[in-house]
């Protein structure tokens, strides 16, 4: 009887088939939304989304519990935005030290130094990677919006 495949070819076919198979329920990563406002929120996004061991935190503006901009200009708004991020992080079962990347959006880049003072006092060491950019405007005339990504070890 003639061999159709060599042993090496057979192993290659088995490996190729294993790689090409779709993920099973056991190894697929579920996405879990984190919402601080609850299901009645009118905004069409989650405050955070967990995918595997990673938490993606939506942009947080510096607002009070009643939705008003925090007092104190960009410093007050920075503190409130970082406190909102901390609430999402804790609700997801992560810690602030798990944050690996931050994006800061400023309505005016001249506010950089003031924002940075507050940021340095709140974010744990080692500080995460960060990008800071000026944007042409933010929702509700906010001075700052901050988003982040956290990864559990």
Q: What is the pLDDT of residues 106-145, one digit of tens each?
A: 999 999 999 999 999 999 999 999 999 999 999 999 999 9
Q: Where are the domains of the chain?
A: 29-151
Give the pLDDT mean for 82-111. 98
End-to-end Cα spacing for the chain: 54
Would you place residue 43 in the very low, low, confident or very high pLDDT band (cuts 50, 70, 90)?
A: confident
Answer CATH for 29-151 from 3.30.1330.40, 3.20.20.140, 3.40.390.30, 3.20.20.70: 3.30.1330.40
Give the CA distances from residue 14 to residues 11, 18, 23, 47, in Å, rounded to whole numbers and listed in that order.
Answer: 5, 6, 16, 42
> Per residue, what are the HEC states of 73-104?
HHHHHHHHHHHHHHHHHHHCCCCHHHEEEEEE
Is the pTM higher than 0.75? The answer reads yes
pLDDT, position 61: 96
Distance, CA of 64 to CA of 66 (rounded, Å):
5
E strand spans, the chain: 31-34, 48-51, 54-61, 99-106, 129-134, 144-151
């Amino acid at each position: 009887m003639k061999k159709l495949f060599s042993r090496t070819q057979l192993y290659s076919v088995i490996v190729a088939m294993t790689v090409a198979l779709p993920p099973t329920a056991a190894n697929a990563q579920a996405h879990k939304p984190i919402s601080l406002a609850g299901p009645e929120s009118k905004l069409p996004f989650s405050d955070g989304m967990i995918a595997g061991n990673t938490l993606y935190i939506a942009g947080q503006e510096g607002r009070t519990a009643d939705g008003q901009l925090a007092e104190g200009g960009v410093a007050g708004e920075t503190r409130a935005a970082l406190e909102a991020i901390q609430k999402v992080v804790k609700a997801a079962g992560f810690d602030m030290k798990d944050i690996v990347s931050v994006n800061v959006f400023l309505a005016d880049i001249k506010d950089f130094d003031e924002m940075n003072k507050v940021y340095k006092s709140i974010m744990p060491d080692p500080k995460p990677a960060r990008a800071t950019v000026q944007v042409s405007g933010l929702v509700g005339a906010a001075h700052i919006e901050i988003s982040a990504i956290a990864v559990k070890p």
